[in-house]
Structure 1
């Protein structure tokens, strides 16, 4: 039995039987009565359950606590139904009203509209297309929900599925009768089915989902989907095989990461058999590694250095590691370094990675906030120096919610060069190509603030403040009064002895011992 937590996702709204944008009647109630009814369905249960929890008073017993947990679970379902409705309805209404809104903007801000249209032509994007409207709104919703655009994009898939395809499931979710996962599984396995087949699936699964576990709903929904799916098993396999990929993520504060290979089952089995056979050839009694550790090491060595007897890979990665020298000297046991594109790693691991580094680059950071404020320049071209500074200061794309690394982002003027913007560190930041298009063609605005942060304004008026990734301490940043950071009093500054080791790290000339003692 497969675990739904580890199932591979190929969810796509185009696989749902959605009517064309602009014709989805659920998102545009026709009468005051229907609007009122919709409001009661989605907001009424939330209000009632929140009031019940608030008025219940202190917990009296274990059974009382369990009943409240059940109420909270139902409240989660009602909130998810409300969120799905808001997402699906709003993006539909934006698409329907796009032409009228554009006409209003053209009348009030003709210059801005003309510039945005020129930018849209440059980026070869159609702002009126359903795909662009959806992506733009997902980015705005990500700001409101404080999630990544990828997570909100997934939410949007389920929102449209619930609102426009599985409406009975949405009503049951709003009432708190089924869980969020159960509702999402029904939408997930409605892909590639006809509306009448989805109606049968809801009829069979919703009574079960009101009492069964999420895993049971997952298995029943998947089985029902396979029975009704018009595609042959071979066609489904071919489609799945076309989605083979390698993914990775860094989710461990101890400097660990994960690579996941999605491929045919026979290929995966062959790889695992090869790893086990290779590990089985090692009969060293002094090797204390576990089987899992040995297999992981063989897998990594094979990809980086090649199998035994081969020349290995000609490609050597470029790793950028920031090691806080003063912090390391002050307390090496607690110091954390930063691996570009990953995040904090123990300083011991950083030193181990850096011991064979062919070159080093000094980075000057603010000792109070940790922000990168200058980068050593050993090249004549200032553009490279600026690029080095932004790579260490911003770390990744500075668009809200985007973490595309510096290597795939580009330098961008906050105030456009054509409008007098300077090419300096205050007016430059990193943006990936996609979000350059958002900024120049889709109505996103950005303002550089005196405290070093950036203020973004979404097309529909939502503000969000972005702090450079290299900043560790935001205590002294003044977002409200828009002032420069105020330095703390001297006693709050970590004391680091100015000894010979500190001077060597900072590349200061050596000084007599008497001068060091006086310092």
Structure 2
């Protein structure tokens, strides 16, 4: 920038004036009068309008692009439902027939996919376009399923789709509208859309969702008792990982159950808070209170203040205690504990390192949490890794002795379903032969990997193909001939072959001159027998 004391160059009178180009690295000087006064309120107001209008234009462009994406998703679904297209997305019929012929000789786990009832052509086509799109966009298949479903509803609502295509409403507004409208009878949907769409153009998403929900309640022909009974079938609980070694537990239930449960937790937490939090410092909720006590009185007071739990922390700890140790009214839950697999470096376990441990299906957790869990663990499985590469060398002493141990080894290696983008835990998935058992595939770790039930079926019944490379690396090829690679969660070295076991029946008596066979320690060995004894 030029110095404030430097006067600007004179403006030339002729229109053909062309200044000399500035040398490289220098800051060009202004060839026009100074800009507007930044303290001028009119200029500030104009600039505010201009800059926010640019953002609004991009917002409208995003809405228009999402409308085009919805239209393309509808076209993809209609194309896949063509009978001639759907029939050609089926897997190899010869491979399916071969699997059927050999299914009777398979174990229950090996036959899980090939013994399934066959999908119809339309179902195979649906699964194919969902998996192909999900892998291409790096989205979860459930997300793609939801987008496909929303696109069909959105495309069928002409007025809402046109408003989204014109950028008059956002996609969240359109989604909120169709979420409420789809629960109404078909005869009432058009009137509901006409009544609520104008509000989508003027209200924020939150307020619009509330307005649409209230209008839907007034217009629904069924009573809320009937609708609550039907919605009760959708109750569920799910877990969601969060950052920094934390997670969310979601419970979707009736309004009175969830509200009553929270009120009970809240009232218990407030009671403990009034009593001075007698459980503070015991490590009951977060592992706090571990380590040596501070030396001075001031340090002990400060540590005690830090250990006192706030109301939110009390609620979380009470929820934890009730869920982990509570018993249902019919007596279920007593003695039942959740099972997790945690990998802890031995130096971390001994308190000589701060290297984090690994929780199956989540990732790194703090060393303190790992040591607290290990202190109450009923048993351990030894895991030997290479000190530099981290590659797992062995798991337990009899890892490959039986099928149960091999399943544990594969579960530790994979952690999840090995289909691209799938995060279903390995513990709830099948152990699949990459090269089908019916085609001569072997039952060893280099030909086994976890696949959830849906992707197990997809592998056998569609045109998805997979090859397993050394180290458990899977190379997938989609029906669209796109390539995807999935690596194991924990790299595992090939297992060492076990030495052959020699049974007593197969032992041969050694030759007399081969070596001396000692009798007992207290006796001297017998002399060797000559090869040609005299007679």
Q: Please, what TM-score do these two structures have when normalized by structure 2? A: 0.67
Q: Which residue of 1 aligns with 2:87?
A: 102
1:263 pairs with 2:253: yes
Partners of 1:116 and 1:441 within 8 A in 2 = no
1:187 pairs with 2:178: yes
**What is the distance in 2 between the residues matched to 1:265 and 1:194?**
24
Partners of 2:90 and 2:121 within 8 A in 1 = no
Instruction: Describe the SS at the equivalent of 1:171.
Output: helix
1:445 pairs with 2:465: yes
**What is the distance in 2 between the residues matched to 1:372 and 1:380?**
14
Residues 1:214 and 1:100: Cα distance change in structure 2 (over 3 Å) = closer
**What is the distance in 2 between the residues matched to 1:110 and 1:355?**
54
1:250 pairs with 2:241: yes
User: Map of 1:350-389 to 2, 5 A cutoff?
Assistant: 350-365=370-385, 370-372=390-392, 374-378=394-398, 381-389=401-409
Q: Which residue of 2 aligns with 1:93?
A: 79
Residues 1:205 and 1:284: Cα distance change in structure 2 (over 3 Å) = closer
Residues 1:443 and 1:367: Cα distance change in structure 2 (over 3 Å) = farther
Partners of 2:90 and 2:125 within 8 A in 1 = no
Residues 1:294 and 1:69: Cα distance change in structure 2 (over 3 Å) = same
1:426 deviates by 2.3
Partners of 2:86 and 2:122 within 8 A in 1 = no
1:457 pairs with 2:477: yes
User: Map of 1:49-448 to 2, 5 A cutoff?
Assistant: 63-97=49-83, 99=84, 102=87, 111-112=94-95, 114-115=97-98, 122-130=115-123, 132-163=124-155, 165-195=156-186, 197-251=188-242, 253-282=243-272, 284-285=275-276, 287=278, 288-306=308-326, 313-325=334-346, 332-333=353-354, 335-365=355-385, 370-372=390-392, 374-378=394-398, 381-448=401-468
Residues 1:367 and 1:443: Cα distance change in structure 2 (over 3 Å) = farther
Q: Please, what TM-score do these two structures have when normalized by structure 1? A: 0.69
1:196 deviates by 5.1
- The count of corresponding residues between Structure 1 and Structure 2 is 405
What's the CA shift string for 1:482-519, capped at 9, x where partnerless?
A: xxxxxxxxxxxxxxxxxxxxxxxxxxxxxxxxxxxxxx
**What is the distance in 2 between the residues matched to 1:185 and 1:443?**
36
CA RMSD, aligned part only? 3.3
What's the CA shift string for 1:240-295, capped at 9, x where partnerless?
A: 223222222222x2222222222223223332333344345545436421222223
Partners of 1:275 and 1:295 within 8 A in 2 = yes
Return 5+ residue gaps in structure 1 as ranges: 1-59, 473-519
Partners of 2:399 and 2:406 within 8 A in 1 = no
Q: Which has the higher helix share?
A: 1
Instruction: Describe the SS at the equivalent of 2:183.
Output: coil
Return 5+ residue gaps in structure 2 as ranges: 1-45, 104-112, 279-307, 493-535
1:327 deviates by 8.0
Residues 1:274 and 1:100: Cα distance change in structure 2 (over 3 Å) = closer
